[in-house]
């Protein structure tokens, strides 16, 4: 469960980073 949450957070961070870029 913890791993799934971490993956979701990573995807969110990447999405935000790509959008900001």
Q: What is the pLDDT of residues 1-21, one digit of tens each?
A: 566 778 888 889 888 888 766
Q: How many whole angstroms separate alpha carbon 1 and alpha carbon 20?
A: 29
pTM (whole model) above 0.85: no
Taking CB atoms within 8 Å and a gap of at least 24, the contacts of 2-6 are: none
Chain Cα centroid distance, residue 21: 15
pLDDT value, residue 2: 67
pLDDT value, residue 1: 58
């Amino acid at each position: 469960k913890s791993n799934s949450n971490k993956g979701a957070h990573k995807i969110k961070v990447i999405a935000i980073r790509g959008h900001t870029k």
